Each structure stands twice: as structure tokens, then as C-alpha cells.
A = this chain, B = another copy of it.
């Protein structure tokens, strides 16, 4: 039975994504931070780790990207990706009047995603950020009459609280990474994630993209992050379609290498089918 470490606590979006992927024949351990999920996999205390990487409304989860920058020698590779629709609920105790609400708790990303709805319907309440949607519900349990939380319906069920769906007209999905040691399994259609630093010369980013264009490799994602060594110096994350052992990908990476001071393949793994 494999052990799966996930960004917890229980019933967060990451936990539910992990359970959908690995099912009931796995042991689950939660970690309080992205860093700790990596640690558990690095020390073989977990076979796989699950962390969020990107939300379709809020963008990159920078903690996860930066973990690859801060520990460039990690043996952890990306073994797969998961995609989950996110549906927010306003969680409050039975019988509470909206007009009595004074505080709404949630994870900053959830608050940001519900911002428009909250300001229209609960403009009078103060918002409080918590480390997770699960923590937000614990704050509600402390004072059920004036507090509410934003989180998944499962969290309301767990504590027998009422849940009102927050309407969302935009596509709200989160993408998660599966982390592991060793060689990732290969899928029918694969994706490769790379991290690189450009040489300091004019047109460097253009030059870095040429080998992908020439080898007809589709890029699904590009993200820049501060190097943290020098102000306004950046590292780049690129996701591309193809496996690193495919000749066209090998060729492109070999040319890219000439334009970079650092190039790391974070993993080649099956593309999410959803």
C-alpha cells in the first residue's frame, strides 16, 4: 500500500485531489507546508507527494515553484499531474442570519476567488486569511453565530454545518503535481517540465524558444520567478508537450542548453486527460 503525502490538513482541495487519484488503497499523511511534502518524499517517508501548482484564476502557486529553485539538487521529480474543478461554499452554522455575520475566514486564494460575490452579498463583513480552508472551519466552530468560512462542501459535512454554494461564472480549476523519486511512468501523451536560467544577453528569451519552435514542440506554460540571488534576475519554468527521451525533445533541450546557465528537467510524465 503506497503512502501519499499531501498539503493538508484533511479535506482540503489537495487532499481530495490525492484521494481521487490514489483511491482507498493508499495510506495518506498530511503535511502543513509544500516544503514538508517534498521533505517526506525526499526522505522516503512517503512514496508520492501531492501539491498544488496552479489555479486557473489565481495563477501559479509560487511556494511550489520556488521549492524547485531553492533546492535545485532535490532527487524529487514530477511524476504526474491532476486537475480538479474547485467549487466554493460559504459554510455557516444552521440558523445563522447573514446580517449577524461579522467575519469570513478562508485561505487567501479562496477569499480572492470569491471576492466579487462576497463584496456584493456580504459587503459588511471582515475577511480573515487562514492557512487552509480546513483551518477556516475551525474558526467557525469557535463562534458559530458571527463567523463563516469558505471551503469545499465536504468540510461542512464533516462538521455538520450548513453550506451555501458560491456561484462562479468563471472556470475555476486547480492543477496539482504528483511528486516522487526515481523514473516517472510513461503515458500515451507526455509532458515535460523544465527549469532554466538564461545567459545575460539581449534577446535571450527569444533565442531560448527557437529550438522548441524549430522542433514543433508545443509549450503549454511559461512562468518566470525571481532568482533571489540578484534583483530583477529571473528563472523560467516551461511545460512542453512530449517526453524528454523523444528525439525532437532531446534535440531541443540540447540547443536550449547553449543559451542557459542552468537547465534542469523536473520530470516527463503523462498529461492529465481532463
Q: Given A57-B228, A58-B62, A231-B56, do A210 and B216 touch, yes or no (CB 8 Å)?
A: no
A223 interface residue per 8 A CB criterion: yes
| Complex interface: stretch among A155-163, A201-209, A253-261 | A201-209
Partner of A57, one of B55, B175, B207, B226: B226
Partner of A223, one of B220, B224, B230: B224
Q: Please classify how large the interface on chain A is, using the bins under 10, 10 to 19, 20 to 34, 35 or more.
A: 35 or more
A228 surroundings in chain B (CB, below 8 A): 56-57, 170
A203 surroundings in chain B (CB, below 8 A): 209, 212-213, 216, 218
| Closest chain B residue to A83, Cβ basis | B231
Complex alpha-carbon distance, A173 and B229, angstroms: 12
Partner of A202, one of B175, B216, B222: B216
Q: How far is the CB of A135 from chain B (nearest CB, A)?
A: 12
A175 surroundings in chain B (CB, below 8 A): 232
B62 touches A59 (CB 8 A): yes
A56 touches B232 (CB 8 A): yes
Q: Given A62-B59, A225-B59, do A171 and B206 touch, yes or no (CB 8 Å)?
A: no
| Closest chain B residue to A70, Cβ basis | B116
A129 interface residue per 8 A CB criterion: yes
A212 surroundings in chain B (CB, below 8 A): 203, 206
B226 touches A56 (CB 8 A): yes
A206 touches B202 (CB 8 A): no
| Closest chain B residue to A126, Cβ basis | B131
A220 surroundings in chain B (CB, below 8 A): 232
Give 6 closest A-B pairs by Cβ, nearest first.
Answer: A56-B231, A206-B209, A206-B213, A171-B231, A203-B213, A173-B231
Chain A contacts to B: CB under 8 angstroms: 55-59, 62, 108, 129, 170-173, 175, 202-203, 205-207, 209-210, 212-213, 216, 218-226, 228-232, 234
